[in-house]
Amino acid sequence: METLPFAWYTDPDVLQIEQQRIFRRSWQYAGHAGELPDAGSRFPCRAGDVPVVVVRDGDGEVRAFLNVCRHRGSVLVADEGQSATIQCPYHAWTYGLDGSLRAAPRAEEGIDLEGLGLRPVQVAAWGRFLFVNPDLEAPPLEGLPDLELDAENLRFHARVPWTLEANWKIAVENYLECYHCPVAHKDFTRRVETDPATYRLEGHDGIWSQYSRARQGEARTQFHLFWPATKVNVYPGPANLSIGPLYPDGPERCSGFLDYFFGEDVSGEDIADLFELDNQVGREDRALVEAVQRGVRSGLLEHGHLMPASEELVAGFQQKVAVALRHA
């Protein structure tokens, strides 16, 4: 089976269409409910290249808006915080927590505040995890996996940002197969079963899951990709979960973050141990995906080839990308 055309991993026009048809239309992880403790709490996030602000309003409801001022388009909220209104840092247009425009300096010059409220964005919760979708017509958030663990009782530990010099699809595709694990993640493979007999791949439309277990003990692992670009990971060992989005930052770069959660009783030592393995896998993956980017950029091969079973999830993902790009 052929991969997507290699040109799709470097072409700015392809990225622009992906932003329009994929990232502006789909549900993406924004943050977690713990970031919105009180009325007026807010945090900025993104859906692809769309800046979004998520707030808790006066009634305790979670709302999301395009994080862009209706005056001349400045991004409004740069940092997590709390206050009764959302005020633009540029000319101080001031919005309520319901998004309505409440005040603008010198409004008497002749500007009608009515009708200049913030553009809403869809927001939905999967348990404590908040997702946003800029498309107001999009169907509700659904299709997320059953994690078979009590995510509500995990404690937020840290947000870890990352960047890669690679097209976003190369990062996702690398995430969707463990064909490379025995070759490139030796320590991981020493701890987690990665041979095809025990490493289970499960693809549905828009959710691709990998399940395995630790070589020692019963601990299970799960890695899920929720279309287009939200990762959910459970590593072997004590109660843990990490979740985060991926953003295309250009045809040949992407970034994102992972929010890490651990069980209340997980020791600092166990947490350090998990980060050590995770960081090592991350370093190994960085070298792999950045090397793929340099390879596909060469322009002399039109496409690559996928392994029918081991890269089944990659094929499912690529098919969904192809459908999104070919049909408006």
Q: Which residues make up the interface to ligand FES (CB under 6 A)?
A: 69, 71-72, 74, 88, 90-93
Q: How far is the CB of 88 from ligand FES (least distance, A)?
A: 3
- What residue 65 binds from ligand FES, Fe ion, none (CB within 5 to 8 A, per partner kind)? none
Chain-centroid distance of CA 320 in Å reads: 17
- Cβ of 197: how many Cβ atoms within 10 Å? 6
- Binding segment for Fe ion among 89-97, 238-246, 278-286, 314-322 (CB under 5 A)? 278-286
**Residue (95 or 262) nearer to ligand FES, CB:** 95
Is residue 259 involved in binding Fe ion (CB under 5 A)?
no
- What residue 119 binds from ligand FES, Fe ion, none (CB within 5 to 8 A, per partner kind)? none
Torsion of Cα atoms, 282 then 165 then 297 then 181, to 10°:
0
Residue 180 structure tokens: 């490379």
- What residue 323 binds from Fe ion, ligand FES, none (CB within 5 to 8 A, per partner kind)? none
The one-character DSSP state at 105 is: T
Distance CA 66, CA 135 (A): 11
- What residue 285 binds from ligand FES, Fe ion, none (CB within 5 to 8 A, per partner kind)? Fe ion
Sign of CA dihedral 15, 20, 22, 24: positive
Among 177, 285, 311, 312, binds Fe ion (CB under 5 A): 285
Distance CA 181, CA 116 (A): 52
Distance CA 225, CA 80 (A): 26
- What residue 69 binds from Fe ion, ligand FES, none (CB within 5 to 8 A, per partner kind)? ligand FES
**Residue (39 or 184) nearer to Fe ion, CB:** 184
Q: How far is the CB of 184 from Fe ion (least distance, A)?
A: 6
**Residue (91 or 283) nearer to ligand FES, CB:** 91
Are 261 and 240 contacting, i.e. CB atoms less than 8 angstroms apart?
Answer: yes
User: How many chain residues interact with Fe ion (CB under 5 A)?
Assistant: 1
Q: How far is the CB of 92 from ligand FES (least distance, A)?
A: 6
- What residue 8 binds from Fe ion, ligand FES, none (CB within 5 to 8 A, per partner kind)? none
Q: How far is the CB of 319 from Fe ion (least distance, A)?
A: 21
**Residue (72 or 294) nearer to ligand FES, CB:** 72
**Residue (121 or 288) nearer to Fe ion, CB:** 288
- What residue 322 binds from Fe ion, ligand FES, none (CB within 5 to 8 A, per partner kind)? none
The one-character DSSP state at 267 is: -
Are 226 and 244 contacting, i.e. CB atoms less than 8 angstroms apart?
Answer: no
How would you classify the pairing of strands 62-66 and 200-204?
Answer: unpaired
Are 14 and 8 contacting, i.e. CB atoms less than 8 angstroms apart?
Answer: yes
Residue 215 structure tokens: 């070589």
Q: Which residue has the tokens 């991993």?
A: 9
Distance CA 109, CA 193 (A): 69
Q: How far is the CB of 328 from Fe ion (least distance, A)?
A: 34
Longest dimension (CA), the chain: 72
- What residue 100 binds from ligand FES, Fe ion, none (CB within 5 to 8 A, per partner kind)? none
Q: How far is the CB of 116 from ligand FES (least distance, A)?
A: 11
**Residue (16 or 198) nearer to Fe ion, CB:** 198
174-184 burial code (b ≥16 CB/10 A, e <16): bbbbbbebeeb
Q: Which residues of the shown chain bind Fe ion in the complex (CB under 5 A)? A: 285
